[in-house]
Structure 1
Amino acid sequence: MQIVRFLAVVLVVFSLGGCQAMTGRTAGRNVDDATLTGSVKTKLAADKVSSLTRVDVDSTDGVVSLNGVVDSADQKTRAQELASQVNGVKKVINNLQVQKK
């Protein structure tokens, strides 16, 4: 019975280790990305010049992706400028689309 229990524990340990290996990312990196994403979203939402609350933000290893629809080319540019000002952002990929009126 003890051998079965030991093998079950070993199996679980190796299975959990494989989960991290599949993404190649540590829990700390995932937390850093989530923090960076939150900081960029906060910066965009707090902007007094433009309404950028509909912008979706994702980040991986300091690279921030902006997705969604904005009302003007100025808002698209403004979103990229604001995102690049956040500490920890290495690069901004601006996939925002300007809504046709």
Structure 2
Amino acid sequence: MKNLTKLFSASVMALTLLVATGCASTNKHEGTGEYVDDSVITTKVKAMLFDEPNLRSGQINVETFKGVVQLSGFVGTQADINKAVAIARTVKGVESVKNDMRLK
């Protein structure tokens, strides 16, 4: 009976370690928690861009990976690009902003 208990405990421990390492992040892949955090950041940036009356936010794409926000799309002026980047930088959790927006 003791051997069965030890075997069960060892199995549970091994399974726990496998699950924990499966959810860990790597350089190119996010862990589960990071994915959720990045989704929240993306949503907040999109909402703030949408609330800005002078920006056509529907033409600005927002993606986030490990806290780095990438803005892409087409805007009318350099001032629009600067405004979008400034807005993205104000969101909590943003590590940096990569600007790939282009002028029409």
TM-score calculated relative to the size of structure 2: 0.71
Give the total of aligned pairs. Answer: 88
Alpha-carbon distance between aligned partners in 1 of 2:25 and 2:94, rounded to the nearest angstrom: 25
Cα pair 1:29 1:61 within 8 Å, conserved: yes
Alignment partner of 2:62 out of 46, 57, 61: 57
What are the ranges of 5 or more consecutive residues in structure 2 without an aligned counterpart? Answer: 1-17
Q: Could you tell me how far apart the structure 2 residues matched to 1:18 and 1:42 are? A: 32
Specify the alignment match of 1:46 in structure 2. Answer: 51
- CA RMSD after TM alignment: 2.5
Is the Cα–Cα contact under 8 Å of residues 36 and 89 in structure 1 kept in the other structure?
yes
1:25 to 10, 30, 47: 30
Aligned positions of 1:67-78 closer than 5 A: 67-78=72-83
Paired with 2:51 and 2:100, the residues of 1 have a C-alpha distance of 21
Gaps of 5+ in 1: 1-13
- Kindly, what percent of the aligned residue pairs are identical? 29
Change (3 A) 1:70 1:88: same
Q: 1:19 to 1:72 in 2, by over 3 A?
A: same
Q: Distance in 2 between matches of 1:39 and 1:31?
A: 12
Deviation at 1:18, TM superposition (A): 6.0
Contact 1:63 1:91 in 2 (8 A): yes
**Distance in 2 separating the partners of 1:85 and 1:38:** 13
Residues 69 and 98 in structure 2, CA contact (< 8 A), matched pair in contact too: yes
CA distance in 1, matches of 2:25, 2:84: 34
Moved more, 20-29 or 60-69: 20-29
Give the whole-Å Cα distance in 1 for the aligned partners of 2:102 and 2:89: 18
Task: Kindly report structure 1 stretches of 4+ aligned residues shifted beyond 3 Å.
Answer: 17-24
